[in-house]
Amino acid sequence: MPAAQIRPRTAQDLASCVSALATVQRADRYPVHWPEDPEGWLTPHDMLGAWVAAEGPAVLGHVALTRTDPALANAIGAPAEELAAVARLFVSTTARRRGLAAELLGHAARSAEADGLRPVLEVDSGATAAIGLYERAGWRFVSAMTADWHTANGQLAVVHAYSGPAGH
């Protein structure tokens, strides 16, 4: 089997991305609530780019960069136009423990920096595996804030804002 390749996501990848996301949602509740339009959820209106980890036609993971919303920019303490948010990062449950999430995260951060933007992200405070990944990769916790969405138990989510490592 060939090694996974990180490449730009194509329209032909979307169905495979949705299938991979479904495995993650069943295992980890990410996203907390399954979107009505999963392909649309993977393609937010403020998207700057999206990449997949793939082996041949099989999509194993996904990451996107988006414009940063005002709440995250405020939490980071920088103008939104100077930032790019890592979003929609996941790896299929069948492809975990291979370093793909770290590769996708690094690729997105380098892409942001290549465009002169500082990579940032927000993560649910209960997502301990994701938080561990970010911190091992050198991302710096900046602050916690209440989100505008609800957790599976109906509470307003608390998210942690992170700033990417310098010179990634």
Q: Which of 61-70, 81-90, 121-130, 148-157 has the lowest mean pLDDT?
A: 148-157
Best-predicted range by mean pLDDT (25-29, 126-130, 151-155, 159-163): 159-163
Asked if pLDDT for residue 2 goes beyond 60, the answer is no
d(CA 84, CA 121): 8
Tell which wins on pLDDT, 133 or 33.
133
What per-residue confidence (pLDDT) applies to 168?
Answer: 47
Secondary structure element (H or E) that encloses residue 135, with its range? helix 128-136
d(CA 112, CA 95): 25
CATH 3.40.630.30 for domain 5-120: yes
What per-residue confidence (pLDDT) applies to 1?
Answer: 41
DSSP labels for 122-133? EEETT-HHHHHH
In this structure, are residues 113 and 168 in contact, taking their beta carbons and an 8 Å threshold?
A: yes
What per-residue confidence (pLDDT) applies to 167?
Answer: 55
d(CA 23, CA 108): 22
Residue 41: band (very low, low, confident or very high) from pLDDT cuts 50, 70, 90: very high
Query: Both tokens of residue 152?
Result: 């599976």
Asked if pLDDT for residue 57 goes beyond 90, the answer is no
Residue 153: band (very low, low, confident or very high) from pLDDT cuts 50, 70, 90: confident
In this structure, are residues 135 and 113 in contact, taking their beta carbons and an 8 Å threshold?
A: no
Asked if pLDDT for residue 127 goes beyond 70, the answer is yes
Domain boundaries, the chain: 5-120
